[in-house]
Amino acid sequence: MSLLNIAEICTATQTLGPGQRFAIWVQGCCFNCQNCISPDWIPMITGNLMEPKLLANMVLSTPNTEGITVSGGEPMLQAEALFELFTFLRQEQDISIICFTGFTLEQLRSKCDRNIEQVLNMIDVLIDGQYVSELNDNKGWRGSSNQVVHFLTSRYLSQANLFLERERNVEIHLRNEAALMIGIPPHNFQRAFEETIENLRGCL
């Protein structure tokens, strides 16, 4: 059995796809997109190693979960373990799967990698391409307009406009002394967030 190298998980979010979703971010990325929202998850280091079956059981035991959203990091670098995770999930429940990747779909298919092909066959929506900050148009569930939303199954075709045009929003989840931001942030969100924090400090 393969192990997933996990950077972070969130058991329930409304900002990374339709319905309540279990979000998984993997550790390690082969890209280095300028203004990456998750720079700490780029290094190829060991995060939290998890057995796919254990993670699948966590997902399945979380009430009201419509599906999972996988991001990172670069998920396709862990295709073998992802396939095991997706298989365990689908054996128990017809759960929806959304995945982000810095590779294009064409690049993934050209690799002729059986693990990647198996993963693609189980994904409902693939959002592909590297993030380009200059092309962040504040629309939908993709970070920049060069990224393509591929509906690999018909599950969410009727909600295609949400993926492409919805207004951006984020959630802030407090984690002990840290905070986890979840969602696709609007353009210049970080600067606006920092200004808000400074203004709040000035009021104390």
One DSSP character per residue, 46-100 reads --EEE-HHHHHHHHHTSTT--EEEEESS-GGGGHHHHHHHHHHHHHH---EEEEE
Q: State residue 158's pLDDT score.
A: 95
pLDDT of residue 179: 75
pLDDT of 109: 96
Nearest to 65 by CA among 26, 100, 27, 18: 18
pTM value is 0.89
pLDDT of 111 reads 93
- Residues 150, 163 contacting (CB under 8 angstroms): no
Q: What is the CATH number of the domain that holds 89?
A: 3.20.20
- The DSSP annotation for 174-197 comes to EETTEEEEEE-PPTTHHHHHHHHH
User: Exposed (0-12), middle (13-18) or buried (19+): which is 3, by Cβ within 10 Å?
Assistant: middle
**Separation between Cα atoms, residue 41 and residue 161, nearest integer Å:** 29
Domain count, the chain: 1
Q: What is the pLDDT of residue 196?
A: 53
Q: Please check whether residue 26 is in contact with residue 72, taking contact to mean a CB–CB distance below 8 angstroms.
A: yes
What is the rounded CA–CA span in Å between residue 28 and residue 78? 9
CB 26 within 8 A of CB 2: no
Low-confidence ranges of the chain (pLDDT < 70): 187-204
Q: Which residues contact 175 (CB under 8 A, 6 or more apart)?
A: none
Task: Give me the domain span that covers residue 192.
Answer: 4-203
Cα of 144 vs its chain's centroid, Å: 14
Q: What's the pLDDT at 198?
A: 62
Q: What is the pLDDT of residue 201?
A: 56
